[in-house]
Amino acid sequence: MAAAGYGVFGIDYEGHGKSMDMEDYRNKSRFLYGESMGGPLTLLLHRKDPAFWDGAVLVAPMCKISEKVKPHPVVVTLLTKVEDIIPKWKIVPTKEIIDSTFKDPVKREKIRKNKLIYQDKPRLKTALELLRTSKDVEGNLSEVRMPFFVLHSKADTVTDPEVSRALYERSASTDKTFKLYPGMWHGLTAGEPDENVELVLSDILAWLDQRSCHWELEERIRTPPEPEKSAHVTNSNGAESLVPDSAHGHPPQHGCSFLCGLGGQPNQQHCKM
């Protein structure tokens, strides 16, 4: 994304350094980007300040942990009773994630050899907080109002693609797109063969390009457009998309107006951050 002209910033977790000054980006569109576990974090940030963000890209978001990797409810109940006693114990029975995430065998082995990537069982408190957060996000999908693009693989066994579909169907956003990729796994941007990664990234950049604008300070107050009906589209590569009817054949003008002005025409429709 940086190579395509976007300013990319990560959250400063404790002990992970300090970001550069963002003053030069104050008049640019502000998008959230979350992959997997970053998906619910993205939606929680939006819920905290709905008017601040201009949109989000959600890649295989963990809005619900797949039943294929989630422990049995009885096990969850038992672990909950001891979480405050042994919060750091690595006793949560989970299936191997790397084998289910990285489809490309070369990339999979590279991940296995990376000593900086945690590959043990999740600690008890961490696992239960992830479970609670995913349940909270799943139960509040209707509160999502910002423009968003959610991407998922049909074959994902780590996070549930049907919850991404539910996010699209239940959210209050009037500018939203949902795309399913056949044959891909959970790691859409890191674990697939290069040609698949390029396809996913090009879809993300195309969505961002249509909604990235330069703001005047007085334009930060937005009036959302009227809701639109959606249509189901299957591309030549087999990927399924759900998009507003008005998006067929031309860029979604309502999306850029929603991001850039007071319901009128934006200053620039395709400028990058």
Q: What is the pTM of this model?
A: 0.72
Assess if residue 266 is contained within a domain: no
DSSP per-residue string spanning 82-148: HTTTSTT--------SHHHH--SHHHHHHHHT-TTS--SPPPHHHHHHHHHHHHHHHTTGGG--S-E
pLDDT-derived band at 218 (thresholds 50, 70, 90) equals low
**How much is the average pLDDT of 26-42?**
88
Assess if residue 185 is contained within a domain: yes
Q: Which member of 29, 36, 66, 100 is catalytic?
A: 36
What local confidence, expressed as pLDDT, does residue 92 receive? 80
Amino acid at 143: E
Based on the structure, what is the number of domains in the chain?
A: 1
Assess if residue 86 is contained within a domain: yes
For residue 51, the SS3 value is coil
> Which of 25-29, 113-117, 215-219, 268-272 reaches the highest mean pLDDT?
113-117
What local confidence, expressed as pLDDT, does residue 175 receive? 94
Q: Is 72 a catalytic residue?
A: no
Q: Is 19 a catalytic residue?
A: no
Assess if residue 82 is contained within a domain: yes
Lowest mean pLDDT among 3-17, 35-49, 59-73, 77-91: 3-17
Which domain CATH number covers 109? Answer: 3.40.50.1820
Pairing of the two strands 240-244 and 230-234: antiparallel
pLDDT per residue over 176-213, tens digit each? 999 999 999 999 999 999 999 999 999 999 999 998 87
17 vs 235, residue with greater confidence: 235
What local confidence, expressed as pLDDT, does residue 262 receive? 24
Assess if residue 272 is contained within a domain: no
What local confidence, expressed as pLDDT, does residue 8 receive? 83
**Hey, what are 270's tokens?**
């395709």
Residue 177, domain extent: 25-214+228-260
Q: Is 186 a catalytic residue?
A: yes
Q: Which member of 156, 160, 175, 203 is catalytic?
A: 156
pLDDT-derived band at 234 (thresholds 50, 70, 90) equals low
Assess if residue 20 is contained within a domain: no
DSSP structure class, residue 273: -
Residue 51 has a CB neighbour count (10 Å cut-off) of: 11
Q: Which member of 54, 173, 175, 186 is catalytic?
A: 186
Assess if residue 15 is contained within a domain: no
